[in-house]
Amino acid sequence: MKVIVCGAGLVGFNIARYLSSEKNDVTVIDQSPELVKRVSDQLDVQGIVGFASHPDVLDAADAGGADVIIAVTQRDEVNMIACQVAHSLFDVPTKIARIRAQNYLDPVWSDLFTRENLPIDVTISPEIEVARAVMRRLQVPGAIDMVPFAEGRVQVIATRLDEGCPVVDTPLRRLTELFPDLHIRVMGITRDREVMVLSGDSSMSVGDEVYFAAEVDHVPRALTAFGHEEVEARRVLIVGGGNVGLSLAREIEESHSRVSSKIVEHNRERAGEIAERLRRTVVLHGDVLDRDMLNEANVQATETIVAVTNDDEVNILASLLAKNEGCKRAITLVNNVTFEPLLTSLGIDVMVNPRAITVSRILQYVRRGRIRGVHSLGDGLAEIIEAEAMETSSMVGIPIRDANLPGDMIVGAVIRGDEVIIPRGGTVIQPKDRVVVFTTAKRVRHFEKMFSVRLEYF
C-alpha cells in the first residue's frame, strides 16, 4: 500500500513509523527541513520538503499512485486543501484529515465534508477523540483504558494489578475454573512496557497491565476479580477549558445526568466563553495550582480530577495536588511519553495520550481486510483489532487451537449476530463472524493477511 503522510510532527511521525514498519510504501511531506530529515533518518520512508497542499509537491510524492493520503499538519486548512487537491488532480481513493477547529465540525455544516464539496472521507478531531476516551475511563472505574467493540457489546478493559489483587500469581488457565460464569478472556499483559507472550501457564504479577475482553454486562464483576471495586464518579473536576475540556463537559451534560462537573480555566475570557456554552457545569476562573482555588472547587469531595490543559506539567501537578487534598482518582492528559514511566509511581491513576488516540483512530481506516476497529496500545507495543471473518480467511472453519496462531496473537471475543462468544480452544470461527484480536505490532501484517479476501474468492 502506498501512503502519503502530510505533516511530520508527532502524529505524522508515528503514523509513518507504524505503516513503514509493516513494509508499506510511505512518503512524508512537511515544510520543515529539520522534521523531514528526522523522519527520513529514523524511518524507512521518503521525505519531501514542501507545502502538502501544493499540486507540484503532491506530484513529486507520486500522489497519482497513492492509495491513501493522511493530512495531519498543524493547519486545518492545509489538511483540507491537500485532500481536495489529492482528489481533484490525483484521484487518491482514501483521504483522511485532522481537523482541530470545532467550527468546521459543527453538525450545522455536516454537508461540508462530502464528495461534492470537500471530498474528505474521514475527519479526525483529536480533541473530540480525547474527550471520548476520557469519558470511557470515567464510566469504568478501575480501568486505565476501555475500548468498546461490536457497537458496545464487547469491551476490552485494561487494568493495573495492585497489591492484594486476588488473581496475582494465578495461571491464566485457572481463571476459568475460579470464575466459571465470568465471560472474559485475558488477551494481553504488559510488564515493564513489554508485551508478554501468553500461554495457559502464564501468571500475572503486581504492577502488570492486563487487557481482557468481556461481554459488557460482565465488566464490573471482572474488575472485582482483578481487585478493583471503585464506584463510578458522580463529581468530576475538569482542569482546562480548551476544546478537550469543553467537549468532555458537554458529553457529561448531554449523556450523564447523574454526574456533576466543574471546570477550572486559567484564562478569564475563555472561562466566560465556555460558561455561556454550558448549561449545568460550574465554570471557575483561576489557577488550579493554587490551593485556595482547589478548595473553592471543593476538590476534597470530588471523586475524579481530569487534567486536560495544553501543559503536561500543569496537568501532572494539578492531579497530584488534588489527590493530596483528598480527590480519589486522577486522569491526566500527557503528550510527552517520557513522563509515562514516572506517573504511576507518582500516584497518577490513568494517563491519556492524545497522540496515541489520534493514531489509533487513523489506523482504523488504513488497515487492510474487513477491519471494523483498531486501538493502539502504548507507544506502538500492540494493537487490538476488530475484523470480519471472510469465507476465505485461514481462521474460518477450524478450531482456534488448530489455527496455528502465534503466542502474541490472541482471540478475545467472537461476535456472531447478536451473540457474544468468549472463545476457548475448541471455538470455530464462521464466515461473517466479527473477531476481536490482540496482536503485537510485528504481527499486524500477518493478521491482515489472515482476514483479507484472497484473489481466488472472486
Q: Which CATH number fits domain 236-327: 3.40.640.10, 3.40.50.720, 3.40.50.280, 3.90.550.10?
A: 3.40.50.720
Res. 123: pLDDT tops 50? yes
Q: If you average pLDDT over every residue of the chain, what do you get? A: 89
pLDDT tens per residue, range 59-97 = 999 999 999 999 999 999 999 999 999 999 999 999 999
User: What mean pLDDT is predicted for residues 268-274?
Assistant: 95
- What percent of the chain stands above pLDDT 90? 54
Q: What pLDDT is stored for residue 73 in this prediction?
A: 96
List of residues 6+ apart from 401 with CB closer than 8 A? 425, 426
Identify the residue with better confidence: 331 or 180. Answer: 331
Q: How many residues does the chain have?
A: 458
Q: What is the DSSP string of 347-385?
A: T--EEE-HHHHHHHHHHTTT-SSSEEEEEEETTTTEEEE
Q: What pLDDT is stored for residue 441 in this prediction?
A: 77
User: What mean pLDDT is predicted for residues 95-123?
Assistant: 88
379 pLDDT tier (thresholds 50, 70, 90): low
* Phi/psi at 440 (5° precision): -70, 160
pLDDT tens per residue, range 346-372 = 889 999 988 888 888 888 788 665 777
User: What mean pLDDT is predicted for residues 378-383?
Assistant: 75
Of 53-62, 183-192, 297-306, 336-345, the range with the lowest mean pLDDT is 336-345
- Alpha carbon 332 to its chain centroid, in Å, reads 15
Q: How many CB atoms lie within 10 A of CB 73?
A: 24
Q: What pLDDT is stored for residue 3 in this prediction?
A: 95
Res. 458: pLDDT tops 50? no
Res. 454: pLDDT tops 80? no
Of 203-207, 321-325, 363-367, the range with the lowest mean pLDDT is 363-367
User: What mean pLDDT is predicted for residues 211-220?
Assistant: 92
User: What mean pLDDT is predicted for residues 130-148?
Assistant: 90
Q: What pLDDT is stored for residue 229 in this prediction?
A: 84
Res. 449: pLDDT tops 80? no
Res. 36: pLDDT tops 90? yes
| 130-225 and 358-457, same CATH topology | yes
457 pLDDT tier (thresholds 50, 70, 90): very low
Q: What pLDDT is stored for residue 41 in this prediction?
A: 94
Grid coordinates of 366:
488504513
Res. 240: pLDDT tops 80? yes
What is the domain partition of the chain in residue ranges? 2-124, 130-225, 236-327, 358-457
Q: What pLDDT is stored for residue 420 in this prediction?
A: 92
User: What mean pLDDT is predicted for residues 295-303?
Assistant: 92
Q: What is the DSSP string of 180-211?
A: TT--EEEEEEEETTEEPPP-TT-B--TT-EEE
Grid coordinates of 436:
476481536
Q: What pLDDT is stored for residue 456 in this prediction?
A: 38
Of 165-179, 247-261, 269-283, the range with the lowest mean pLDDT is 165-179
Pick from 359, 370, 362: nearest CA to 96: 362
User: What mean pLDDT is predicted for residues 135-155?
Assistant: 90
Is the domain spanning 2-124 CATH 3.40.50.720? The answer is yes
User: What mean pLDDT is predicted for residues 36-57?
Assistant: 95
Res. 246: pLDDT tops 90? yes
Q: What pLDDT is stored for residue 444 in this prediction?
A: 78
What's the topology of domain 358-457?
A: Alpha-Beta Plaits (3.30.70)
Of 77-86, 164-173, 322-331, 412-421, the range with the lowest mean pLDDT is 164-173
Q: Is the pTM of this model over 0.75?
A: yes
Q: Which CATH number fits domain 130-225: 3.40.50.2300, 3.90.1150.10, 3.40.640.10, 3.30.70.1450?
A: 3.30.70.1450
